[in-house]
Amino acid sequence: MDSTFTKAVLFSLFPTH
């Protein structure tokens, strides 16, 4: 899977502090 896309989704669901 595309790690970049996964990160984008994760950041969208769990915004960085």
pLDDT at 15: 78
pLDDT at 1: 64
Q: Beta-carbon neighbour count of residue 15 at 10 Å? A: 7
C-alpha 7 chain-centroid distance: 3
Per-residue pLDDT of the chain (17 residues; tens, 9 = 90+): 689 999 999 999 987 76
C-alpha 17/C-alpha 1 separation (Å) is 25
